[in-house]
């Protein structure tokens, strides 16, 4: 007959610890996008560093990649030509990826970084300023006037949220675009 003693107790404790470790691992995996979670849980991640040259574009009409996460992508899109003293524009486009969509309820905001010799009609843009705001994408037209010719580094910070059926991600990402003003 088997007696319940300290050896058996130790095995039960180790078994419980292994089970607890497996559960904790599954929860961490779910919270970081590696699995599913019980319901919508907001997450915040640190800004990702863009590789050198990312987020900049000449006034050639090429889309400029900006920070990209596993579940979202931001692009800065030039709208040339850019002429000194005349209003110019570039667009900032946010799209969800891998089953994520733009959160329709989050108070999205694009804060414009001031630049010497460049004026902006607005220092920040919100949902009402977007030219498109839907689950598939949000597009913000950013108007500016450069006082003189030359290359300008423009940009700011986009605060946004993307969601899937299980959770929502809260993000703050810097972005830049280089424009050549004639």
Q: In Å, what is the CA distance from 59 to each residue of 35, 78, 90?
A: 41, 6, 10
Fold of 42-181: Immunoglobulin-like (2.60.40)
Q: Phi/psi zone of residue 147: left (φ > 0), alpha (ψ -120 to 50 degrees), beta?
A: alpha
Q: What is the pLDDT of residues 42-87, one digit of tens each?
A: 444 433 333 333 333 333 344 455 678 999 999 999 999 999 999 9
Domain ranges of the chain: 1-35, 42-181
135 pLDDT higher than 70: yes
Bridge partners, residue 141, by sequence: 91
Mean pLDDT of the chain: 75
The residue with tokens 């949220």 is: 161
pLDDT of residue 65: 55
Q: How do strand 150-163 and strand 64-69 relate by DSSP bridges?
A: unpaired
């Amino acid at each position: 007959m088997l007696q319940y003693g300290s050896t058996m107790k130790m095995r039960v404790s180790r078994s419980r610890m292994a089970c607890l470790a497996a559960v904790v691992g599954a929860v961490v995996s779910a919270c970081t996008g590696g699995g599913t979670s019980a319901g919508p849980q907001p997450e915040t991640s640190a800004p990702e560093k863009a590789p050198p040259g990312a987020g900049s574009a000449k006034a050639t009409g090429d889309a400029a990649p900006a920070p990209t996460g596993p579940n979202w992508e931001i692009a800065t899109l030039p709208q040339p030509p850019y002429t000194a003293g005349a209003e110019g524009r570039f667009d900032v486009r946010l799209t969800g990826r891998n089953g994520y969509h733009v959160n329709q309820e989050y108070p999205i905001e694009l804060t414009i970084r001031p630049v010497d010799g460049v004026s902006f009609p607005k220092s920040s843009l919100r949902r009402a300023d977007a030219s498109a705001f839907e689950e598939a994408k949000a597009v913000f037209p950013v108007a500016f006037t450069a006082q003189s010719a030359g290359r300008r580094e423009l940009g700011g910070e986009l605060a946004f949220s993307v969601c899937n059926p299980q959770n929502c991600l809260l993000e703050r990402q810097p972005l830049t675009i280089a424009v050549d003003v004639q």
